[in-house]
Amino acid sequence: MKEKVFFPGSKWSWPEFVEHATGKELTAKYFAEEVSLRDR
């Protein structure tokens, strides 16, 4: 975990890290979906 998360995270900004990890740009879409599911 240290080598795959913490070390790379120190050289990239959070949005860059998320994009490298997931292949997708950081947006509020997934957060909004999660919040809307909790309200049900």
Q: Domain total for the chain?
A: 1
- pTM, to two decimals: 0.54
If you search the block for the tokens 């740009």, which residue do you land on? 25
More confident residue, 9 or 27: 27
Range of the domain at 17: 2-38
CA distance 26 to 15: 5
Q: Identify the band that residue 20 occupies on the pLDDT scale cut at 50, 70 and 90.
A: confident
**Does residue 1 surpass a pLDDT of 80?**
no
Residues 6+ apart with CB under 8 A from 20: 8, 12
- Predicted pLDDT at 9: 59
